[in-house]
Amino acid sequence: MNSVITKAAAAFGLMGALYFAAGTTSYAGVENATFATVGDETSTPFGWVDFCQRYAGECQDDDRTPTSVDLTPANFNKLKQVNSWVNEHVKPVSDMEHWGVVDRWDYPTDGKGDCEDYALLKRHMLMEAGFPRQALLITVVKEHNGDGHAILTVKTNHGEYVLDNLSDRIKPWNAAPYRFVKRQSQQNQNTWVILGPPTTDPMYVSK
């Protein structure tokens, strides 16, 4: 399979490596974060299972030692660049409008997608930039109205931050306006773990 990033760059008309343009950022722009409470293993979202059937090469079932991102100014800058670039270049559409189904997780290589598609692309771009897979965790949350939503949690040595298609701001996970439900395990991307007190899963994730 060709690089998903190459496909995305071609689809979005982006010159290669633009999203990692040189620059620095100050820790003055980094908010303090904490670490989420991780519980027992739980059910794997159908969307991830279906995604892995189509992208088996990206869903290796191998255990890895948990690790975190070193939150240097350069790394924080890359997180901001990737989050903002994907948010800007992917057009938000529902899975029903896009694919004719309620919930499908995929890379937005045609420039369209919903929340989990944004998160998948950000995760892939950051891994290609050298960030460890074990620190880039697809996460399912619920909004105040109970609707499901997906974000990317980045575990760093200074706490956990979220990359969200609904905001260009890199927020501490505990500052995001969501009820956290579950996410990928750091040890194995195909294992999912509960976050905080157990709660019912949303029917599907959207937006």
44-82 confidence digits (pLDDT tens): 999 999 999 999 899 999 999 999 999 999 999 999 999
Res. 36 pLDDT band, cuts 50 70 90: very high
Is 50 contained in some domain? no
CA dihedral 51, 11, 5, 85 (to 10 degrees): -100
Is 199 contained in some domain? yes
pLDDT at 160: 98
Q: How many CA atoms lie within 13 A of 2 on its CB side?
A: 7
Is 31 contained in some domain? no
Res. 7 pLDDT band, cuts 50 70 90: low
- Tell me the C-alpha to C-alpha distance, in Å, between residue 100 and each of 93, 103, 149, 204: 11, 9, 19, 14
pLDDT at 142: 96
Q: For the domain that residue 103 is a member of, what is the CATH number? A: 3.10.620.30
Measured between its terminal Cα atoms, the distance across the chain in Å is 28
What is the extent of the structural domain holding 89? 64-207
Q: Is 169 exposed, middle or buried (0-12, 13-18, 19+ CB in 10 A)?
A: middle
Is 20 contained in some domain? no
pLDDT at 31: 85
Res. 1 pLDDT band, cuts 50 70 90: very low
Is 149 contained in some domain? yes
Which 8-state DSSP code applies to residue 38? E
What is the pTM (predicted TM-score) of this model? 0.88
Q: Which of 132, 142, 180, 149 is nearest to 35 (CA)?
A: 180
Type of residue numbered 90 = V
pLDDT at 9: 54
Domain count, the chain: 1
Is 128 contained in some domain? yes
Is 8 contained in some domain? no
